[in-house]
Amino acid sequence: MSLRPSVDAMRLVVPTLALTALLAAVFWLQPRAMSYMGLNLLFNLAVPIALATLAQMFILAVNNLDLSIGAFVSFAACVSATFLQSTPLIGVLILLAAIAAYAAIGAVIHLRNLPSIVVTLGMSFVWTGLAVLLLPAPGGSPPDWARSLMTTKPPLVPMAIVASVIIALIAHLIVTRSSLGVLIRGVGGNERSVERAGWSVLWAKTAAYALAGTFAVAAGIALVGLTTSADANIALRYTLLSIAGVILGGGEFVGGRVSPVGAVIGALTLTLAASFLSFMRISPDWQIGAQGAILIIVLALRLFLNRLERQEGRA
C-alpha cells in the first residue's frame, strides 16, 4: 500500500487552496464575516449553485454539455413557487415530468447522435418559455417546508455549510462509489469499452441526464426557499456558473474526469468570489471581469500543478 495521494485527491488540491485563500482574504477584509451569521450570508446562495453545478457535472461526465441548466432551474423554481406551494401533488407531478423530459432528451441525444450543445440550447428556450407562462411577472411564494429547510439554524455550523457537505457526500456516493457512477464515468472515458462489456450506453446516458434533472430540480427548490419568490429569469446565469464550477473543481470537458466534491467546492469558490469583490469595493461594472480573472488564475494554477505531476511521473 502506497501512501501517495490518489489522482482524485490531487485534483482537489487546487480548488481547496483557492477556496481557502479567498476565504482568508474575505476574513481579512471583513473580520465580522468570521461568524455564524457571516458565514451563512456568505454561502447562502451557494447551495442552489452547488446543486446546479452537480447537475452539469453529470452531463459533462458523459462528454456532453448542458446549456439549458440555468433555464431549467428557473423553470423548476417557478413551478416550486406556484404549483408546488398551492397544489403540491400537481407540483410534484410537473417536476417529475420535467425530470423524465430531461432523461428523454439524453436518450434522444444518444440515439440520434445529436450534438448536446445544440439540443440543450434549443431546450433552454423551451424551459424559459414554460417558466414565463407560469410566472409572467416575478412573484409566487415558496412551499413552507422548502423555506424552513433553507432557513434552519443548526447548532455551530450554518445551514449553507451543512447543506453543501451533505450534497457533496450524496453526489460523491453516487458518482465515485456506486456502480452507476462508474458506468456513467466509463461512458465518458471510453464508450466502446463500456459497450463491449455488454452495458447499455443508452441507459447510462439517460440515467446521467435523469440525475442531472433531479439535481437541477433540487436547485430550483432550494433557490425559491432562499429568495422566497421566483421569476422566469432567476437562474439564467447558472448555466455558465455551473460549467465554471465543474471545471474549477477539477473536472474536465471530455474524458469522464469529474469530481463531485470538487464541483461543490468550485461552486462555493464562485459564490465567495462575488462576495470578495463586493468587499473589495470593486464597482459592479468590473465585477464580472474580475470574477473571470479569478477563474483564470485558479485554472492556471491547476495547469501548473498538472505539469508538476507529470514531470514527477516521468522521473
Give a three-class secondary structure readout of 18-54. HHHHHHHHHHHHCHHHCCHHHHHHHHCCHHHHHHHHH
Residue 177 CB, shortest distance to other proteins, in Å, is 5
Residue 197 CB, shortest distance to other proteins, in Å, is 5
Residue closer to other proteins, measured from CB, 61 or 277? 61
In the chain, the N- to C-terminal Cα span, in Å, equals 21
In the numeric block, which cell numbers belong to residue 16? 481547496
Residue 105 CB, shortest distance to other proteins, in Å, is 24
190 lies in the binding site for other proteins (CB under 8 A): yes
Question: Which of 76, 98, 160, 194 forms a contact with other proteins (CB under 8 A)?
Answer: 194
Residue 203 CB, shortest distance to other proteins, in Å, is 12
Question: Which of 32, 112, 192, 281 forms a contact with other proteins (CB under 8 A)?
Answer: 192
The CA distance from 294 to 289, in Å, is 9
Question: Which of 55, 77, 128, 185 forms a contact with other proteins (CB under 8 A)?
Answer: 185
114 lies in the binding site for other proteins (CB under 8 A): no
9 lies in the binding site for other proteins (CB under 8 A): no
Residue closer to other proteins, measured from CB, 32 or 192? 192
Residue 93 CB, shortest distance to other proteins, in Å, is 31
Residue 315 CB, shortest distance to other proteins, in Å, is 10
Indicate the SS3 state at residue 23: helix
Q: Which amino acid is at 50?
A: A
Site string for other proteins, 220-259 (x = CB under 8 A): -----------------------------------xxx--
Give a three-class secondary structure readout of 188-216. HHCHHHHHHCCCCHHHHHHHHHHHHHHHH
Per-residue DSSP letter, 252: -
C-alpha to C-alpha distances, 288 to 67, 185, 293, nearest whole angstrom: 19, 32, 9
112 lies in the binding site for other proteins (CB under 8 A): no
Indicate the SS3 state at residue 96: helix
7 lies in the binding site for other proteins (CB under 8 A): yes
**C-beta of residue 64 within 8 angstroms of C-beta of residue 116:** yes
283 lies in the binding site for other proteins (CB under 8 A): no
Q: Which of 206, 203, 202, 210 is nearest to 97 (CA)?
A: 210
Q: Which residue has the cell 461526465?
A: 61
Q: Which residues bind other proteins (CB under 8 A)?
A: 2, 6-7, 173, 177-179, 182-183, 185-186, 188-190, 192-199, 255-257, 313-314
